[in-house]
Amino acid sequence: MTLSPVFRSPEAVRLLEENGVWDRLGPALEAQARAVNTLYQDLGNLMAPSFFHEGRRVPEVASLHSEEDLAFLQEYFFLVLFRSLLESLGAGPDRLALYAELNFCIKGTITAADNIFDDQSKSLLPLKQAPGPRFLSILQLMSFERLIRRSCDRAVEKGVMGSAHTPIILRGLLDRMAEIGALEGSEEGGVAHIPTPARMVERVHQVRGGALFSLAFVAPAVLEEGAVGEAVREAEPAVARLGTAFQIVDDLTDFEFDLGRKSHNLLVSQIHHHGSAQERAALEEFWGGKPVPEGVVEGLFRTSARAVLQRAYEEADASFLRLGELGFWFPRGLSREVVHAIVGLDGVSRMDALASADA
């Protein structure tokens, strides 16, 4: 699971525009674009020109009046949200610049690692297509290792943090990434046991989603002190709950893929432990290798799928409630809409079908 592009449907974009969310995110959006461009420039100094596209760059976004700007926000929405949140908690501009750079490196590292697990070839760096997707992902991993160190060195040079902070931050990031990776690795050959939904959320989703989102707080937890540091520590669990909600929704859209490789999936667990007799019988056949027909989540498994969706609602609502208590401006009333919108284009119709039953 990665920090994938979100808010892809026109309805989701319009909703957040009408509620002023895009405008409120504008400054953080522009700052995140600057951070990505800085790291693109770093890459040009770290690698020979033959390995990357010099012409590829991030737009100098200052508004959302172009499709290019909107595409950037959709790709980096959570990074932009994290920066806006940290600013609202009191982090200063120099450290916010560091956090934006680190978060881009985190997203890129996780994306490259996820590529290897899932045989994909997504890239956040302006690298030329390599002969094989695995090599491209390995090259990205090596590049982001250098880039994240360069960001830390730059922060030390500017007096944003001390040199002693660097190994603490890098160790914290590696430990948490290793925890997430160990979970992914445990599923490489498929899983034989299906935990209960409560157990799965605790052992899987709070790691794959919650720990992933809390990576953005590793550096702030080290660097911020006093009232700001306390606010950061209080906000981290709330952000982790948003990540948990994101992973739960991801399970709904990836049901067929996860079922095919027999990896952990909350909808599978819900059906297996609490589904109707008809649902459980069908799941047993699919688990055994029978092809999964199109629309089965919205149709046969709708009752269980809606129970899973309800859990995502609860996690997101609790997250935005706590963040609002800490002074974050994001409207809590949009928590359900956020849950609906944090899917790719291929998941929009499924979410619409499941949510429509709430009317």
Long-range CB contacts (within 8 A, 24+) of 171-177: 172/218, 172/219, 172/221, 172/222, 173/102, 173/106, 173/148, 173/215, 173/218, 173/219, 176/211, 176/214, 176/215, 176/218, 177/106, 177/109, 177/110, 177/113, 177/215
Would you state the pLDDT for residue 310?
95
Q: Which residues pair with 52 in a beta bridge?
A: 127
d(CA 279, CA 293): 14
User: Cβ(126)–Cβ(43) under 8 Å?
Assistant: yes
d(CA 64, CA 49): 32
Would you state the pLDDT for residue 1?
46
- Record the tokens describing residue 1, joined without a space: 């699971």
d(CA 200, CA 264): 8
d(CA 50, CA 56): 14
Using DSSP, state whether 106 is helix, strand or coil. helix
d(CA 47, CA 70): 29
Would you state the pLDDT for residue 222?
98
Would you state the pLDDT for residue 59?
52
Would you state the pLDDT for residue 173?
97
Per-position b or e across 24-50, b if 16+ CB within 10 A of its CB: ebbebbbbbbbbbebbbebbeeebeee
Angle between helices 165-186 and 93-118 (to 10 degrees): 30
Q: The tokens 């550096």 sit on which residue?
A: 219
Q: Exposed, middle or buried: residue 201 (CB in 10 Å: 0-12, 13-18, 19+)?
A: buried
**Nearest residue to 331 (alpha-carbon basis) of 340, 321, 342:** 321
Q: pLDDT tens string for the chain (359 positions)?
A: 455 667 777 777 787 788 888 889 889 999 999 999 999 989 988 888 888 776 555 555 544 456 667 788 888 989 999 999 999 999 999 999 999 999 999 999 999 998 888 888 888 888 887 677 788 899 999 999 999 999 999 999 999 999 999 999 999 999 999 999 999 899 988 999 999 999 999 999 999 999 999 999 999 999 999 999 999 999 999 999 999 999 999 999 999 999 999 999 999 999 999 999 999 999 999 999 999 999 999 999 999 999 999 999 999 999 999 999 999 999 998 898 888 877 766 677 888 888 875 53
How far is CA 333 from its chain centroid? 21
Using DSSP, state whether 90 is helix, strand or coil. coil
Q: Exposed, middle or buried: residue 228 (CB in 10 Å: 0-12, 13-18, 19+)?
A: middle
Q: Which residues pair with 127 in a beta bridge?
A: 52
pTM tops 0.75, yes or no: yes
